[in-house]
Structure 1
């Protein structure tokens, strides 16, 4: 019976580590989205920027967010190495889906949709952040 309880605790602990990493990335993406809106407003033009240029910008912002989180939380949230490798793909996919859902929600309400509120752009931001945390966290 103790073995089953220990297995359940390990599984729940791993799941909570993944959720903590996902929440950190989604919260920072939403903050980046809000910051981007406030910065973009005075400089907005009628011509949209190329998607690849926005992608590069979101990679840079994601890497910067990764460095900032390492300053605040230098230790990995996820302890197991194989789970950290899974996190490199799963968390950015989930964060991209969350940002896509936010963009769809805003579009249904006839609000402006920022480039970070698309799946690929949200994925780029979260992936860069995850790579920095993976490589430089301890």
Structure 2
């Protein structure tokens, strides 16, 4: 029974750390996009499908760059491989949605990535790259 509880805790820990890592990368990406928007006066894709694909691509690039600094898993892999590929982007998307709604409540403009869908797309791209290429 104790082994089952420890394994369940390890799964939750893996998902939490992956989601926190993806959320941090998304936040840095949002800051970079804000800087680009200030310089070029635009930062949003007009076509939602292209925007989603663009954020998946940017997430993949961020995942690839993260492999340079963190080539090994952030936490030991659980017995359910691939679980964090789906759960972590959901949590990261919820976190970015919370950031976006907080900004809108303060009468500030939220970026596209600060929504659930685009935050999920970015984190999903990052999670896929890390899942397939981490050592």
TM class, shorter-length? 0.7 to 0.9
Question: Which one of 78, 81, 88 corresponds to residue 80 of structure 1?
Answer: 78
CA RMSD of aligned residues (A): 1.9
Does structure 1 retain, via aligned residues, the 8 Å contact 2:14–2:84? no
Distance in 1 (CA, whole Å) between partners of 2:76 and 2:47 is 35
Distance in 1 (CA, whole Å) between partners of 2:36 and 2:20 is 24
Q: Give the TM-score taking structure 2 as reference length.
A: 0.88
Aligned to 1:111: 108
Unaligned runs of 5+ in 2: none
Mark the structure with the bigger radius of gyration.
Answer: 1
Counting matched residue pairs gives 133
Does structure 1 retain, via aligned residues, the 8 Å contact 2:45–2:51? no
Q: Cα deviations across residues 37-61 of structure 1 (Å, max 9, x unaligned)?
A: 011112125x972222322221121
Of 125-134 and 54-63, more deviation after overlay is shown by 54-63
Residues 1:97 and 1:129: Cα distance change in structure 2 (over 3 Å)? same
Unaligned runs of 5+ in 1: none
Structure 2 matches for 1:15-94, cutoff 5 A? 15-45=12-42, 49-76=46-73, 77-80=75-78, 82=80, 84-94=81-91
Structure number with the higher helix fraction is 1
Aligned to 1:131: 128
Q: How far is the alpha carbon of 1:27 from its aligned partner?
A: 0.3
Distance in 2 (CA, whole Å) between partners of 1:119 and 1:9 is 31
Does structure 2 retain, via aligned residues, the 8 Å contact 1:103–1:118? yes
Q: How far is the alpha carbon of 1:81 from its aligned partner?
A: 5.0
